Chains A and B, each alone.
Chain A
Amino acid sequence: MAVFRPLSRSDTSLPVDEAFAPLSARRLLLLGGIGLILAGMLFGDIFAVFVLHQNAAHVGASLADAAHAALAGNTSAVIANFQNVGGFLENRGTKVDTHVHMIDFGYLALMLAILQPWIALSDAAKRLLAWVFLAGAGVLPVGVFLIHYVGLAYSPLQAIGWASIFADLGGLLVLLATLAYFGGLWRNFRIVAGPRVKDRLLSDRSIPGRMLLGGGVLLVLLGFLHGSYYAAVDLYNHEARDYGILSQMSSSAAQRDTAAVDKALADYGQLQGEKAVNIAAHAHAIEFGLLAIMMAFFQPYVSLRETWKRRWAAVLLAGSLLLPVCVLLELNYGLTAGGLADLGGLLVIIALLAMWAGILRYTGSLDAGGEIQ
């Protein structure tokens, strides 16, 4: 682990940063944003290890039961099993949404943190908006997570429960805060004679920053290329197979052909696996790339030794590449590849946690002395 020691000018290359004052919008958004990303990633890892596979097994079993009920001509059992499938899919979907929204709001918070010097609003207004943004970014994922458990209990609406209502409220808060920041940015651009914004975060050209920026852009590009390949080669084929297999399953059940139903069920499970790994690899490569690019800008705030900053940058990039590649290999190499993918996710979390600790250390030094040695 990194060894803490007193800060020196060479560690940070920056003097005291007024934009990073205690409880400033930039500090709130940066620390809150990284916290959201870390929480979202940890939630995703826990979900992947303890829920995802078990849930997929339940969905498969309920679908198989529904198909066999159709085979036996038992309509009520078909409906009951599809209700189970719906429940399991809702459970899975809300947890994926919790994971994705927490991380994406974290990314948006980091971007807004970088943009703060360009936003022509008072410090108090920017701080208030940061709190509104973080409140919304916290409420939406919690609300989405609770949808499966709260359901429609005590809801005044027919289709939307209280958890959904609070989730939507959280989304609205984030939207309003972002809109207000956008107004501030627009205002800055309209002030032609205004002071030229100088932010030393953006002038940093340190090696860890370059590693993260270059590696991040490459990861995003790889993710885009893989997504294009998937859309061109597999997407329509997968959609056609999805319908074809279900149609085969249904017609075989009507004809009481047990073997054909079982084969269709096996094919359907395989297809869902193929779709899931491709989408996960595409999304994770791009999101980790974006994270690397954003963390490149914040390297001046990471007050660790230069060698440790490089190491953590390398660990973050290695984990960011390992996870999507191993997710793609899961279909051929099963649990070994899955374990390596989880390790990749863990590396990213550890590296991000280390950078977060470095930023906290920077804030501590600023608040304690107000001057970097």
Chain B
Amino acid sequence: MSAARRVLLIGGIALALWGMGYGLWYAVFAEHQALDGIGSSLATGFSAAAERNPTSAEASLARYREAKYVYDRQVDVHGHWIGLAMLLIVLGIGFDRVAFSDRLKLLLALGLFLGAVLFPLGVLLQTMSHGSVPRAIAIAGSALVIASLAVVAIGFSRALALAN
């Protein structure tokens, strides 16, 4: 088995396990609390509005915004890690159909794997910091995945052209 295929298969399954483990931890220890936080802050905000207390309403809605921001990203991270892991595995299975040199294929596999790890990691880091570094990590990760996948698509079509 080629090194590129190993990177994609081992990396893909490891990432899928990591994503599932994260999802299991999140479902057991964090999700219910997060949903409660979102619901209660929204209800408190509107209750404060009913009591004509705009300051308290605004504070509760700010808590809602932060809780929703974190929740959306935590769920996205779970879905994206597993989704990207599945892509790595299927590409790994069919990687012998990519008509490029072994060296380029290894670079593409590393790019795909690195991107698949970094993109959701950047999104997860956004829940801890609103700075530009987590966003830059997420953008770099997604760019790596897209660029590598585009080149892999060219490799597949090149193999078809060669076969014809």
Contact = CB atoms under 8 A, between A and B. Distances in A.
Interface of A: 66-67, 69-75, 78-79, 82-83, 85-86, 90, 100, 104, 107-108, 111, 114-115, 118, 159-160, 164, 167-168, 171-172, 174-175, 178-179, 181-182, 185-186, 189, 197, 202, 205, 210, 213-214, 217-218, 220-221, 224-225, 227-228, 231, 239, 242-243, 246-247, 250-251, 253-254, 283, 286-287, 290, 293-294, 296-297
Given A213-B156, A224-B142, A247 B61 contact: yes
29 contacts: A66-B43, A73-B50, A78-B47, A78-B49, A82-B39, A86-B39, A107-B86, A108-B86, A160-B32, A167-B27, A168-B24, A175-B24, A182-B13, A185-B9, A185-B10, A189-B6, A202-B93, A205-B97, A214-B157, A221-B153, A224-B149, A243-B62, A246-B45, A246-B64, A247-B58, A250-B46, A253-B46, A293-B90, A293-B91
A243 B65 contact: yes
B87 A182 contact: no
Contacts, number: 177
Given A115-B89, A221-B149, 20 more contacts: A70-B46, A70-B50, A72-B50, A78-B43, A79-B43, A114-B93, A164-B32, A167-B27, A172-B24, A179-B17, A185-B10, A185-B13, A213-B94, A239-B68, A243-B62, A243-B64, A243-B68, A250-B54, A251-B54, A297-B90
Interface in B94-118: 94, 96-97
A75 B46 CA distance: 8
Contacts of A78: 43, 46-47, 49-50
Contacts of A83: 43
Contacts of A108: 16, 86
A220 B149 contact: yes
Nearest to A294: B90
A178 B47 contact: no
Nearest to B24: A171
Contact of A111 (B21, B69, B89): B89
A73 B52 CA distance: 7
Interface of B: 1, 6, 9-10, 13-14, 16-17, 20-21, 23-24, 27-28, 32-33, 35-36, 39, 42-43, 45-54, 57-58, 61-62, 64-65, 68-69, 72, 79, 82-83, 86-87, 89-91, 93-94, 96-97, 142-143, 145-146, 149-150, 152-153, 156-157, 160, 163
B10 A254 contact: no
Contacts of A197: 1
Given A159-B32, A202-B94, A293-B90, A250 B45 contact: yes
A293 B9 CA distance: 15
A247 B64 CA distance: 10
B61 A243 contact: yes
Provide the main secondary structure of the chain B interface: helix
A107 B79 CA distance: 13
B1 A214 contact: no
B54 A290 contact: no
A301 B46 CA distance: 58
B9 A79 contact: no
A1 B132 CA distance: 55
Contacts of B45: 246, 250
Nearest to A261: B49
A294 B42 CA distance: 43
Contact of B163 (A175, A202, A205, A254): A205
Contacts of B20: 171, 174-175, 178
B83 A217 contact: no
Given A239-B69, A243-B64, A253 B50 contact: yes
A217 B149 contact: yes
Contact of B146 (A214, A217, A228, A246): A228
Contact of A250 (B61, B68, B93): B61
**Interface centre among A78, A179, A251, by most B CB within 10 Å?**
A78
B28 A160 contact: yes
